[in-house]
Structure 1
């Protein structure tokens, strides 16, 4: 079946497929999608320090994650991650704008906390101080 025949078929699942691809080459978005997927575990380990204790990770990865203990360092990493996803707009608008916006807002909050000279305080709910005592 040719593309013209597919569009004439009145089969809405085919229309859904083409609309989902937005008629743009999917391969152009794949690198940015991969980048976004890589950001996820990094953010989890940065924000939930308890995971470093329960997940088997290398000492290099642990050292990398432990760099982001201040508000300014977190603002920098979140800003860089956000900028990486904002670059996906060069190709065209996609769903990657949502994580770009969320990361930019998080970077803004960390930047404001740093400028106000507030010390980083971890949430106990997300594995901050006191969680290890609750488990033991």
Structure 2
């Protein structure tokens, strides 16, 4: 099953994973842009991106040396509601960065919020967690 078939599957956890990957890219790129103007939240964005990278890219946990404690932390987020809660927390953190001054960090805050909504919809529809084969996951072959 290819990427197009995965998108056609209507599995919102897949949509959320792709939104999460977009959020990672935005957090890194816009963190670089805002590091001088808003250094605290730029660095927080990088930390969030690092955490999300290990949560959303299954290939990473296969190749990168991680501790059993970190693997246990990542395994907790196989539930759509837990992932959604994590994304909501990260979104709120990034929205707080705009309280003092509106910066481009609002863009990853919005994508994090959209990811939260996708995971909640997946949870409400009782869709099993799926991850795209492109990033080392199982795809939807095993869950549909």
TM-score normalised according to structure 1 size? 0.72
| Structure 1 residue 114: Cα displacement | 0.5
SS, match of residue 77 in structure 2: coil
| Structure 1 residue 129: Cα displacement | 2.5
**1:79 aligns to 2:88 (yes or no):** yes
Deviations 1:41-87 (A, max 9, x none): 21111111121110012222111111110111111111110010000
Q: Which residue of 2 aligns with 1:40?
A: 49
2:74 is matched with which residue: 46, 56, 65?
Answer: 65
Distance in 2 between the 1:88 and 1:54 partners?
A: 33
Q: Which residue of 2 aligns with 1:7?
A: none
1:126 is matched with which residue: 95, 111, 135?
Answer: 135
RCO (CA 8 Å, sep 6+): is it higher in 1 or 2? 2
SS, match of residue 138 in structure 2: coil
What CA RMSD, in Å, does the superposition of the two structures yield over aligned residues? 1.9
SS, match of residue 98 in structure 2: helix
| Structure 1 residue 35: Cα displacement | 0.7
Q: How does 1:80-99 map to 2 (within 5 A)?
A: 80-99=89-108
TM-score normalised according to structure 2 size? 0.68
SS, match of residue 52 in structure 1: helix
